[in-house]
Structure 1
Amino acid sequence: MTMRNRAHFPRIDASASRASIGSNAVWAVIGQGAGQILSLLFFLIIARFVSQASFGLVAISLAIVEVIRRLLFDPVASATNARGEVTDSDYDLCFNVLLITGGLGASMLMLFASEVTRLVGSPDAAPVLRVTALILLAMSLAGTHGAWLARAMRFRALAIRATLSVVCGGIVGLGMAFAGYDLWSLVAQQLTINLFNVVTLWISASYRPRPIITLGGLRDLWQRVRHISLGAAWNSIASDADLFIVSAWFGPTVAGVYNAAKRIMLSANLMLGNAISSVALPTLAGIPDTKARGRAFLGGLTMTSVVTAPAFAGLAATSPVLVHLLLGPRWHAAAPILSALAASGYLLSLAQFASLTLIVGQRTHFDSMTSALAASANIVVMVVAARFGPVALAAAFSTATLLVLPVRMGFALNALGLGWDAALTAILPPAVAAGLMMSALLAISAEFGEHLPPILTLASLIAIGMLVYLASLRLLAPRLFRSTYDITIEMMGRRKLLV
């Protein structure tokens, strides 16, 4: 192996500084957070000028694109970054495979858009899908460089890129929405974001691809990808089946309302859960010792629960005032849907962490099996629940997520030689504290709503919720409260040094 082919990514020592890992988590959260907050902000503004039906049609088209991305692109990038040592040749293979599959995928969607949208029960989305198919080509050009930057722990560059791309896309979308382009303003926004991603990722990463593909490399990549890809297919069915069912059952307008609620939930999930996961994959992959990896897993699982449990509990409790404030009274039907979906956001963040462990531990077949179970459970419960309306369907989505989580978590714990007692010790205290917080907020939210403007009501509920959560966590798990406080201070100190 030549030095030219070797990618210089350090292996993470078992005793790596919590502050070093924490600083990367901070930048990952900043990148995901800023991008999601800005994206949500632009969505909230555009929602006042674009019809709900247009949101539904674009949501269906983007969901189809996302299914292909998860099935073809993410497994290749994840399998490449999950290697203990990665070379430039590995990234060359990754880039060329993504480029070929992206080009073919975009072409097939353009040619068969009518058939695909008819298959998912939304034939009116065909013209939109023909245009949004171009996003696949942009994703294929950006995927390898994003993976390279993540493996190099250059989350600051990723954070800046995410923020700028959303701003540019938002400006284009807003301008077209103001000009009356309705549906096509949403399409242009997404195209701009993904095109800007390609440009900024190529500028940020020093890696430059070469047109090299070897049969040996393809065979090795296939061995790594096949179970991840199969799991991604099942995960796509599990995560997007509700939107397809809503669109087919109730039409694009209700699908637009449902998607608005789910977008708020997913924004929180991406900002928190995915940010943690983006740091966890290269960190866990760089720890060769199983016991040390197990300790890192439990620490990461604890912090995931500490951060995401109160966020989604608060989202469920404050959804009526939040939707009214952000989207306006025209979207009030999204509030109960958001409350029903909030639990799935927390559960998915835990499931993501377990999946990363199975990928790093080369046990992707277990993750694939669990994803198949999740997809089957989701379809069954949602088909039954759909006749009772979109709120029942959202509750069914959360229920199915809860039923499958123990299976995925069990496989991850077994791979690390850990027991359920360790996992429950990591998960339950923050979850119980968040439950107490949600109960308190539900008890007092009606009283606040009668006397304060929406923005003051939301601010008051957030402040009270934080106090109740921290007090509950301090009472239920004082050691966890103290360690969380110490890590936060350590991360803040590291953040100052980086700035």
Structure 2
Amino acid sequence: MSESLKKNVLTGVIWQYVQKLGTQAVQFIVSIILARLLCPEDFGTIALLGVFISLSNLLIDSGFGNALIQRKNIDDIDCSSVFYLNIGVSLIIYLIVFLCAPFVASFYKIPQLTILLRVLSLQIIFMAFGCVQQSMLVREMKFNLNFYINITGAICSSITGVCMAYTGFGVWSIVSSQLVGRFCSLIGLWLLVGWRPKVQFSFIRIRELFSYGSKILVGSIIIVLYNNLYNIVIGKRYTAADLGYYNRGQLLPNTIIDAAANSVNGVLFPALSSLQNDKERHKMVIRRSERMISFVVFFLAAMMFALAPNVISLLLGEKWLPAVPFMRIVCITLSISPISVLNQSIQTTLGHSDLFLKTTMWSNIVAIVLIFTGSLVNLYVMVTAGSFAAISTLIITGSYNNRLIGYSAREHISDIAPAIILSSVTAVVVYLVTLSGINNVLTIIIGGMIGMCTYSILAYILKFEAMLFIVENAKAIYKNKLMK
């Protein structure tokens, strides 16, 4: 990896992680407050609407955002054409959602969903006005601006949600906070990104971009449907309260693990796209990234798995303890999923969007079968099936990537197995701390410190590449400060 690219990737990862973790930390703190003010049914009701909003946002972008990032050269005609198309599509989608809202409410037997969906879907239009600017930030790797935009939106969203919850608005506090957050982020994009749409439109450019983006779009739709499959099935087959427990159970793992993994993946897409003609360097970057992601993600998952009851009880309160099993299962699933996402980026950055679509379809067909089969037993078996689904996705994507860049199954195992073993040992050590019977605060502090020391010391002794990388960079930063 060249020094300039290495510097851009490292800087980008830091900014992305700070942005993701900062934004989600703000949202997490607010979620804790809201969880104590609202009931599980409120969170379950909003979770039911997530699939419609996520799908709508994907359809607006239609894969053009990734196409603008991946394409070597773009101009104002490309960007303006995508901008106007996004706005037109968003208005059509909002009209469809508006008309279909009563049928959604009837399907789930929750009348209030009609007005909730119609109001919450306004964020679809907000997103359309910022899609191109967001893609340009990622393309140019200006992740520091992304941080300022998203953290501002998160803070405004949080203030709105908490104030409305305290004044008794119930579920509307969650709806309003999401709308305010999206609108503030949009304002930030327009203020900080210099690009403005021109009065230009080209169907030819749209067709060229869509030839790549369409396959990404279909694959992304499948992924969104799969990711929201639990919400759909739990909401229909079980109760809104059950969905609320599941939704809060995945809150902390999503906040921390996804922030770590998506930070790396978000930076790697533009970086790897620049290496699409050099498969050897491409493979080297992917392997190093997989070792780094595994090292961080498996440790975080192990810590949260062991401390789950203490964390839920302390942060959300005793009434949310039924969320503990969900939190532990989700920790396992999320520790695997980021590696699959990284492997899918091999296909997209090399321009094989057709292969991305194929692997996504096959892996999600297997996953859906597993999850629906699990739902026939009980709720916990259904959620556990997601972990096996994540493993199957990793196997399927890995088999195709071996043909693309020669990244074999043996190399995959050698890259992630050490982190799995070490994190398992750490989880056992931390779990023993939880058996001491001390209060939740001390258990989390002592368990966290012992877990971190155990993991770091063993990783350094065993010469884990990721640990040595962290130590070397820490030393370099310290030396630079001394020189100043």
Q: Report the TM-score range of the alignment, normalised by the length of the smaller protein.
A: over 0.9
Deviation of 1:332 after TM superposition, in Å, equals 0.6
- Residues 60-101 of structure 1: per-residue CA shift (max 9 Å, x gap): 112320122235426221121012233333222332222222
Number of residue-to-residue matches in the alignment:
482
Question: How much identity, in percent, do the aligned residues show?
Answer: 18
Aligned 1:70-469 pairs, distance under 5 A: 70-73=58-61, 75-118=63-106, 124-287=112-275, 288-447=277-436, 450=437, 452-469=438-455
Structure 1 residues 57-76: aligned runs within 5 Å: 57-73=45-61, 75-76=63-64
Query: For 1:285 and 1:121, how far apart are their aligned partners in 2?
Result: 46
Cα separation, 1, equivalents of 2:111 and 2:399: 40
CA contact (8 A) 1:337 1:390 kept: no
Residue 4 of structure 1: aligned partner = none
* Cα contact 1:72–1:229 (8 A) shared by 2: no
SS of the residue corresponding to residue 332 of structure 1 reads helix
- After TM superposition, give the deviation of residue 392 of structure 1 in Å: 2.1
Q: 1:351 to 1:27 in 2, by over 3 A?
A: same
Closer/same/farther in 2, CA of residues 71 and 49 from structure 1, 3 Å limit: same
Q: Normalising to structure 1: TM-score of the pair?
A: 0.91
Partner Cα separation in structure 2 for residue 47 and residue 201 of structure 1: 30
Q: Which ranges of structure 1 fall in alignment gaps of 5 or more residues?
A: 1-12
C-alpha offsets along residues 35-66 of structure 1, whole Å, 9 cap, x if unaligned? 00100110110111112111111111123201
What does residue 27 of structure 2 align with? 39
Alpha carbons of 1:262 and 1:234: their partners in 2 closer, same or farther (altered >3 Å)? Answer: same
CA–CA separation in structure 2 for the residues paired with 1:354 and 1:72 = 25
Name the CA distance, whole Å, in 1 between partners of 2:465 and 2:243. Answer: 45
Give, as a single letter, the amino acid of the residue that structure 1 aligns with 2:453: L
Contact 1:81 1:151 in 2 (8 A): yes
Any conservation in 1 of the 2:25–2:255 contact (CA below 8 Å)?
yes
> What do residues 341-389 of structure 1 show as CA deviations (whole Å, max 9, x unaligned)?
1111111111111122211111122221222223222322222222443
CA drift of 1:489 comes to: 4.5
State whether residues 231 and 371 of structure 1, in contact with CA within 8 Å, keep that contact through their aligned partners in structure 2: yes
Displacement after TM superposition at 1:282 (Å)? 1.0
Quick check: 1:57–1:128 contact (8 Å CA) kept in 2? no
Deviation at 1:395, TM superposition (A): 1.0
Q: What is the CA deviation profile of residues 247-274 of structure 1, one whole-angstrom value per residue up to 9, with x for unaligned ones?
A: 1111211111111112322222331111
Higher mean alpha-carbon deviation, 457-466 vs 108-117, is at 108-117
100-109 vs 195-204, which moves further: 100-109
Maintained 8 Å contact 1:19/1:490: no
Match of 1:29 in 2: 17
CA distance in 1: counterparts of 2:341 and 2:110, whole angstroms: 29
Q: Report the AA paired with residue 346 of structure 2.
A: T
Deviations 1:9-35 (A, max 9, x none): xxxx74435343211211111111100
Letter of the structure 1 residue corresponding to residue 253 of structure 2:
M
- Residue-by-residue CA offset, 1:203-252 (whole Å, 9 max, x unaligned): 11111122432121121112101211111121112211011111111121
What TM-score comes out, normalization by structure 2 length?
0.94
* 232 and 44 in structure 1: CA distance in 2 versus 1, 3 angstrom threshold: same
Letter in 2 for 1:310: F
Alpha carbons of structure 1 residues 324 and 433: separation in structure 2 relative to 1, 3 Å = same
Once the two structures are superposed, residues 144-182 of structure 1 have per-residue CA deviations (whole angstroms, 9 ceiling, x without a partner) of: 111111111111111111111111011011111000000
Residues 230 and 97 of structure 1: CA distance in aligned 2, closer, same or farther (over 3 Å): same
